[in-house]
Amino acid sequence: MKIVSLLLFFALSGLMIACTSGKKAFEHGDYFDAVLLSVKRLRQKPDHEKSIQTLKESYPLAVSYLEGQANNTIAANAPFKWKNVMQSYNQINQMYEEIQQCPACLKVIPSPKNYYTELGPLKEKAADESYNAGIDALMKGTRNDAKQAYFNFTDAQSYVPGYKDVVEYLGKAKDVATLKVILEQIKVPGRYKLSADFFQNNVESYLHSNYPEQTFIRFYTPQEASSTGLTNADQILRIQFDDFSVGNTNTTQRVDNLKRDSVVVGEAKVNGKTIPVYNTVTARLTSFHKEVISAGILSMIIVDAKNNGVLKDSKFQGNFVWTNNWANFNGDERALSGDQLAMCKQREVLPPAPQDLFLQFTKPIYNQLTSAVNTFYRNY
């Protein structure tokens, strides 16, 4: 019963909030939001009086406001005026669609207004102004202006697909706006080559997945740069292991003389009764602790490909310690604790292969590297 009551309480609370939100939006002059919230409420409860009244009052005010906003924009001859006019008309059309899909709302607003007919000619004008704005921005020749040009051309394409030569200019703007970075990873020779290659492949995969072609940063391997004919790289991201050591082993041995008092060691009969015999038991415990330490330092240098200036120089350290514990004893095992006895059941085992140890110490380096790359390119 308590659960049912709680569910009912939350449901009623949600309905009260929805209703209040529509009324509050109206009182704050947010007529468009007031209409949408009222429609939503009337879909849930068609006879809700407050929502009916809010819709009745807010809808004509919302239409009047949006129409006035569109007319003022046209009269002011503001930049991207046709885009802004379309946005106003689209909001009117959105209210039209919402009301048309709400029978209770149609009783309040039987003939909602729409501007679908007017949108057709406006799309051509909006495409033209966005196209021209894109040309102007692209002509400035900077990367940031090329970004803006790309967005302008994208708008033009959305209004009128294939408008003039907008598709070609989309490609040009994207090329100028994109920061092109060549990722150079210095190979590790010898027995650790496979593990180092695995690390490097993970770095390349991360950069390609987190900075896809849709972004304005693109990373190329030297092979990709060569195959695509890239000749105007902006930066070089150079990664190499400056130093590393794998499998440094340190084994320590400890000997403890153990003693435990009042341990039952037998039985004796006294006056015809069997009683336990207590004594002190001893043992000599030899415990071993082996550490296999692997560590390395990776450097990340970001260079301006145009003037070879260093933009960022960072080093990342990583380490991994593999441990193994075991023990043996001589004497009475009852002198040992449970943990000590469990350790005596362990045996010395071989550490992981050197290639695996290499991968283990590179894991914290990988996390530091990817975080540093994200931080550096955040504002690009």
Q: Is 15 helix (H, G, I), strand (E, B) or coil?
A: helix
* 350, 207: one domain: yes
* 110, 160: one domain: no
Whether 359 maps to a domain, the answer reads: yes
Task: Note the pLDDT of residue 3.
Answer: 46
DSSP class per residue in 325-361? EEEEEEE-GGGS-HHHHHHHT----PPPPHHHHHHHH
Q: Is 30 helix (H, G, I), strand (E, B) or coil?
A: coil
Task: Note the pLDDT of residue 77.
Answer: 81
CA–CA gap between residue 144 and residue 140 (Å, rounded): 10
* 129, 105: one domain: no
Tokens, residue 315 = 């080093």
Q: How many CA atoms lie within 13 A of 96 on its CB side?
A: 13
Q: Give the H/E segment covering residue 298.
A: strand 273-304
Task: Note the pLDDT of residue 71.
Answer: 93
Check: CB of residue 172 under 8 Å from CB of residue 152: no
pLDDT tens, per residue, the chain with 380 residues = 444 444 444 444 444 444 456 889 888 989 999 999 999 999 999 999 999 999 999 999 999 999 999 999 999 888 899 999 999 999 999 999 999 999 999 999 999 999 999 998 999 999 999 999 999 999 999 999 999 999 999 999 999 999 999 999 999 999 999 999 999 998 888 889 889 999 999 999 999 999 988 889 999 999 999 999 998 899 999 999 999 999 999 999 999 999 999 888 888 888 878 888 889 999 999 999 999 999 999 999 999 999 999 999 999 999 999 999 999 999 999 999 999 999 999 999 999 999 999 999 999 999 999 999 999 999 88
Beta bridge partners of 288: 253, 326
Whether 221 maps to a domain, the answer reads: no
* 198, 135: one domain: no
Tokens, residue 344 = 């005596």
CA–CA gap between residue 216 and residue 174 (Å, rounded): 7
Task: Note the pLDDT of residue 264.
Answer: 85
Question: Listing from the earlier edge strand, what are the strands of the sheet with 310-331?
Answer: 217-220, 179-185, 235-270, 273-304, 310-331
CATH number at residue 66: 1.25.40
Task: Note the pLDDT of residue 22.
Answer: 85
The predicted model scores a pTM of 0.74
* 200, 150: one domain: no
Q: Is 176 helix (H, G, I), strand (E, B) or coil?
A: helix
Contacts of 20 (CB under 8 A, 6+ apart): none
Whether 286 maps to a domain, the answer reads: yes
> In whole numbers, what is the pLDDT of the chain averaged over residues?
91
Instruction: Give the alpha-carbon dihedral of 138, 139, 140, 141, to 10 degrees.
Output: 70
Task: Note the pLDDT of residue 347.
Answer: 94
* 248, 363: one domain: yes
* 149, 108: one domain: no
Its domain, for residue 45, covers 2-114
CA–CA gap between residue 262 and residue 315 (Å, rounded): 59
CA–CA gap between residue 358 and residue 365 (Å, rounded): 11
Domain boundary among 114, 145, 166: 114
Tokens, residue 298 = 């990776």
Pairing of strands 273-304, 310-331: antiparallel
Q: Give the H/E segment covering residue 363.
A: helix 354-376
CA–CA gap between residue 158 and residue 152 (Å, rounded): 10
Task: Note the pLDDT of residue 20.
Answer: 52
Q: How many CA atoms lie within 13 A of 315 on its CB side?
A: 7
CA–CA gap between residue 270 and residue 265 (Å, rounded): 16
DSSP class per residue in 108-172? HSSS----HHHHHHHHHHHHHHHHHHHHHHHHT--HHHHHHHHHHHHHHHHHSTT-TTHHHHHHH
For the chain, how many structural domains are there in total?
A: 3
Whether 72 maps to a domain, the answer reads: yes
CA–CA gap between residue 264 and residue 114 (Å, rounded): 97
Query: Residue 294: which of 276, 318, 274 has the closest Cα?
Result: 318
Domain boundary among 67, 93, 114: 114
Per-residue pLDDT tens for 300-336?
999 999 999 999 999 999 999 999 999 999 999 999 9
Task: Note the pLDDT of residue 68.
Answer: 95
H helices then E strands: how many in the chain?
12, 5
Query: Residue 301: which of 183, 133, 213 has the closest Cα?
Result: 183
**Burial category of 2 from C-beta neighbours within 10 Å (exposed 0-12, middle 13-18, buried 19 and up):** exposed
* 129, 108: one domain: no
* 134, 205: one domain: no
Check: CB of residue 44 under 8 Å from CB of residue 15: yes
Give whole-number Cα distances, 259 to 255, 266, 280, 353, in Å.
Answer: 13, 17, 7, 40
